[in-house]
Every structure is written in C-alpha cells, then in structure tokens.
Structure 1
Amino acid sequence: MAFYTGNHEAGIAYQLQEELRWYQRVENMLPRNLVIHRNDDNLTAQELFLKEHESMLIEARNWIKDTAQSCSTVAVLVAAVVYAAAYSTPGGTDDRGLPKFLGSSNFLFFTLTDVVALGSSLASVVMFLSILTSSFQIKDFYKSLLRKLSLGFAFLSLSLISTMLAFSATVVITMKLEKTNWALILIYCCCVVSYCGVYIIWKALL
C-alpha cells in the first residue's frame, strides 16, 4: 500500500488491479492450508486484503463510473454527428436524388469512414454502459472492468479518428479538389489533428 502513496497517475482502478495481481501471485505460490489460515484477528488473507483495500475499492468505483459516464457522453455525441452526416450527402444530389459524387473515390472514402465512425462509437457506448451496469465487486477490477474500459477507449479513439477522416473527405468533395496530392495532404493533416485530439483526451481521462 505504501508503494502507491501519492502515485495516482495511472488511475486508482489500475492501482487496485495491480494490488489484485500481486495478491493472486502470492496466493498461487502458497500451499492451500496457508491460504485459508487465519491471523490473530481471525481473518484470512482474502478477508484482510478486502479490509485493507476497502477505501481503495470505493475510490476505484467512483473513478471508473465517472470515466465511463464522461466517455459514453462523448461517444453518443460522436454517434449523433456521424449519423446526421450520413443523411446530408456531401456535394448534394442530382435530379434523381442520387449523390452527385457517387462514383468518386472520395465519396466512397467518406461513406466508409462515416460507417466506421458510427459503428465504433456505438460499440464504445455499449462498452461504457456495460461498465455502468456492473456490480463493481473487487474481483471485477482484476480483468473484466478494466478490459471493458480499454476496449471502450479503443473504440472511442477509432470513432474520433474516423470522424476526422470523414470530415476531411467531405471537405475534399465540397471543394472539388482534382489534385490528388492536395487531397492526401489534407487527409494527413486531419489524421495528425485527430491523433493529437485523441491523445489529449486519453491523458485527460487518465
């Protein structure tokens, strides 16, 4: 416990996970009769572990709940934006109601990135909601909760990057850029901006 005093950079839930891994390694090395042995306070090793980490468990619950709620809000907003973008065709439609740039590679790129953004944002919402509906037992912090949190972060990052790429494709279509080099430069710039944005969000959440 003293090792983690004042060291909360990785998040209290990850610190609790490290404590659980340490406990599991020690338990696996001991004979069974020592695992169920009771100390002078009539507590087993597991009961003593739960008692000593009770405050850390409460902090970890609050931390992961707040993180999941904040990230799910962002994911819902991203899903709403890309869903609306799917129905507002870049460049408009012709007399038959078909997109003017239907045969363009840029339009195909926009469609694919928009679909990826929508799917990944909804997947991240599912991950964060599964965290919020969890029982938050101490055993859940060993693998389940933090695995879901990592998957949620991954899907949310993918949705943000895909959204930026879809936006760059929309700009290319709207401006009717015919030079591929300029289009690629614009896409690369958006990739860099999206990566920086995802990195900032990641550091802010942790």
Structure 2
Amino acid sequence: MQEVESIINPTDKDFANVKGQIARELFTSDHADLLLKGEEWMKATATSCTVVGALIITIMFTAAFTVPGGYVQESGYPIFKDKESFTVFIVSDAISLFSSSTSVLMFLGILTSRYAEEDFLKSLPTKLIIGLSTLFFSIATMMVTFCAALMIIVDGKLQIIIPIVLVACIPVTFFMMLQFPLLVEIFVSTYGPGIFNKKLKRWY
C-alpha cells in the first residue's frame, strides 16, 4: 500500500469515491483476501518451523548432559574433556541450543502477532528473517555437534568420519537450497528499494 501511495497525488489520498471510500479504504477492501492469505501462510510457516526448532532444543539440551564417552566416576568430569573435539562438541551444542531458542521465540512472535496491515511492512518479515536464519544456523551447528561427538567416539578414524561428515552436510545443504531464495526475497522486499522503479513517473 505504501508503494502505491508513494506514486499518487497526495491530494487524492483523502478524496472519496461514489461509495464514500477514500483511497486507503478502497485498497484495503480490494486486497482483503491477500491479507488473509498472507496471514495463513505466515502462521503455517511459523508453526512448522516452531516444531523443528523445539525438537532441536530438546536434542541439544539432552546432548549437553549425555556427553560422548561418559564421565569419570571419581571426579564426575567428562572423560574426554581435554580433547579439542570435545570443546567443539560443547561449543557447537550451546550455539545450536541458543540459536534454536531464538528461532522459536521469533516464530512464536509471528504466531501471536495481530496481523495488521502495517505489521506486514517490517515487523513480520523481520521476525521471519531472523527466525529462518537462526533456525538454519541451529541445524548447521547441530550437525557440527554430531560430527564432533562422532570424532570423540571413533577416536579420529578418518575412514569413518569423512563419509559421515559428508552425509551430515546433506540436510544443511537442502535446507539452504530451499529456504535461502525465500530469505533473499523477503529481505529485498522488506529492506530493498521497493516493488516500483524509483525512476517511475509519478501519477501527478
């Protein structure tokens, strides 16, 4: 609506038609179905991603307390706490947990939004961008956590580690291929120059 408003004569914004509708009211009534479809799509996307994010939170929280190799019975410290791969495991686990938590919070913010016209301009797209970005990051670091745990368990046997690491990259790559174009499109439409060419001749 703001894009259309930017190219019309400002004096026409408050001019009523034969039905007594000003330009803003006419635009809203003509695009009510578009607003409803946008709300349904946002809710469906947020719901699906919230489920994925919640599963990652559960997995990463559990993994933090079931470290590979177990604990030393006398001291209670992890057996492999001095290995570099164990440090990678803990750090990536924490990052995955925090990023997935952020993602879930963003998607919950979308689900609880009022879905007014102005929310679709900045608020909702920004939450979706942050939610999808942090979800992707949490999936990537979850795979790193898995690979680090594998390295600890197999004690650096590359003939086992390398194939599994390559396979672990598949879900991350698929998610990026599916969601990255959507992220770019949302970002450009939200923070880009707009749907109209800025050199477009005004209507007044």
Task: State TM-score, norm by structure 1.
Answer: 0.79
Give the deviation of 1:182 after TM superposition: 7.2
Q: 1:138 aligns with which of 113, 117, 131?
A: 117
Amino acid paired to 1:189 = L
**Structure 1 partner of 2:61:** 83
Q: CA RMSD in A?
A: 2.3
**Structure 2 partner of 1:50:** 28
* 8 Å Cα contact 2:46/2:107 also seen in 1: yes
Distance (Å, rounded) in 2 between the aligned partners of 1:57 and 1:25: 16
**Structure 1 partner of 2:175:** 198
* 8 Å Cα contact 1:107/1:169 also seen in 2: yes
Amino acid paired to 1:35 = K
Structure 2 gap segments, 5+ residues each: 184-204
Distance (Å, rounded) in 2 between the aligned partners of 1:61 and 1:173: 46
2:85 pairs with 1:106: yes
For residue 196 of structure 1, give the secondary structure of its aligned residue in structure 2: helix
* 8 Å Cα contact 2:60/2:97 also seen in 1: yes
* 8 Å Cα contact 1:120/1:155 also seen in 2: yes
Structure 1 gap segments, 5+ residues each: 1-22
Distance (Å, rounded) in 2 between the aligned partners of 1:52 and 1:91: 63
Amino acid paired to 1:148 = K
Q: 2:4 aligns with which of 26, 35, 39?
A: 26
Q: 1:164 aligns with which of 135, 143, 160?
A: 143
* 8 Å Cα contact 1:68/1:131 also seen in 2: yes
For residue 29 of structure 1, give the secondary structure of its aligned residue in structure 2: coil
Q: Deviations over 1:142-175 (max 9, x none)?
A: 1211211111111111111111110000000001
Distance (Å, rounded) in 1 between the aligned partners of 2:163 and 2:119: 44
Distance (Å, rounded) in 2 between the aligned partners of 1:186 and 1:153: 28
Identity within the alignment, %: 33
Number of equivalences:
181
